[in-house]
Amino acid sequence: MIYIDDSIMKKGENAAAGSKILKNFFSPFDATVVIRLGEEARHKSLCEFGLGNPGSLNFICDDGDALLCNDIFGFVRRQAVRDKLFYIRPTYGTVSRYGLIPTASSMDQIGIVCKSPQKGFLVLSKISGHDENDGAMFLEKNYSFSAKTEKITVRAFDEKLPALNVSEQVLHILAYAEICANISRYDGIKFGPCEIDYRSLDGFYKKIRSEFAYETKLAAIMGSALLSGINYTKYYEKAMKIRRLIKDALVFDSDQVLKVNEEGCHFAVLSGLPSLAFSHNGSYTELIAKAKNESALLSAWEALEK
């Protein structure tokens, strides 16, 4: 069974992104990944705009099962590891986001939760490839991900480096700012439920926005504060510069894979690199590879499991 988070549109079905504010929104078309799956995909509601714990993922119980979702903050990734599952985050720009309800556009990427990494990468091969409806994609029309025959070098990341300590703060600053901008459309006028009975515009907005969950309200408030006045330069602009430094620091050969054992590391999300998260010897493990080199992740996992 292939499940899709309800932030991914499927024609005629409710695409609520886990939010009450979209409870009456039904998809007018299929997302590109739904079309490319070419089979029945069942909607599964996780958490509002990916801003909370999704709960148990143990409904993925067979090797052929998979869940497609957008996981920015790592809630799904960490829960998958706790449930002895795998989370694959593809290279930014290899999987179309057309038909995905946006959260933080520069980090939005449809990933895969699976029980078998081999089957997960087969699903990834199926949904990957250029789509003219998504303007932030590589030009390759097709990808095929399978274990490499050549030797892969797994390099442990130096957890004492300061970049690890600030990646979570950088992620939250940038994501909150983008979330604030993206959810501004849900005001009951441009988008979202329209309430007729109201006495003032402020009262109208208050009634509509009260539908958001606590985490979404917090993200909107924080994002608005970060983008205002002196905070823009002090926090947002600085976070953008640190993000660039992190991306520039993650340079390695095609036969190298970076291994991180810290749940709070968000290097893959911030840099747009592919990653595979899983439990190894009872500990959280995440492998990160060069862009468009997902096959190296599968090879490295196989090497670690031997």
**pLDDT at position 280, please?**
92
Contact 80, 115 (CB under 8 A): no
Chain segment 93-134, per-residue pLDDT in tens: 999 999 999 999 999 999 999 999 999 999 999 999 999 999
Nearest to 268 by CA among 278, 256, 277: 277
Chain segment 53-65, per-residue pLDDT in tens: 999 999 998 888 9
CB neighbours of 57 closer than 8 A, spacing ≥ 6?
67, 76, 79, 80, 83, 85, 113
**pLDDT at position 164, please?**
63
Place of tokens 């700012």: 177
Give the number of other CB atoms < 10 A from CB of residue 35.
16
Place of tokens 């670690």: 304
Output the six-digit token pair for 181: 């901008």
Q: Up-side HSE of residue 34: CA atoms within 13 Å toward CB?
A: 24
**pLDDT at position 208, please?**
81
Long-range CB pairs of 240-247 (<8 Å, 24+ gap) are 240/174, 242/166, 242/170, 243/170, 243/174, 243/270, 243/271, 245/163, 246/163, 246/167, 246/170, 246/270, 246/271, 247/271, 247/272
Angle between helices 214-226 and 162-182 (to 10 degrees): 100
Mean pLDDT of the chain: 90
Strand order in the sheet with 66-70: 41-44, 2-5, 66-70, 110-114, 86-89, 275-280, 283-288, 256-260, 153-156
Residues of the chain scoring pLDDT < 70: 149, 158-164, 191-197
**pLDDT at position 251, please?**
80
Residues 8 and 34: their CA atoms lie apart, in Å, by 8
Domains parsed from the chain with CATH numbers: 2-161+247-305 (3.90.1300.10)
Contact 295, 90 (CB under 8 A): no
Q: Is 118 helix (H, G, I), strand (E, B) or coil?
A: helix
**pLDDT at position 152, please?**
83
**pLDDT at position 199, please?**
78
Place of tokens 């520069």: 106
Question: How far is residue 251 from each of residues 138, 210, 238, 255, 298, measured CA to CA in Å?
Answer: 19, 44, 22, 12, 19
**pLDDT at position 195, please?**
61
**pLDDT at position 196, please?**
61
Percent of the chain with pLDDT over 70: 95
What residues are paired with 87 via a beta bridge? 113, 277
Give the number of other CB atoms < 10 A from CB of residue 22.
22
CB neighbours of 289 closer than 8 A, spacing ≥ 6?
256, 257, 258, 273, 274, 275, 296, 297, 300
- pTM of structure: 0.93
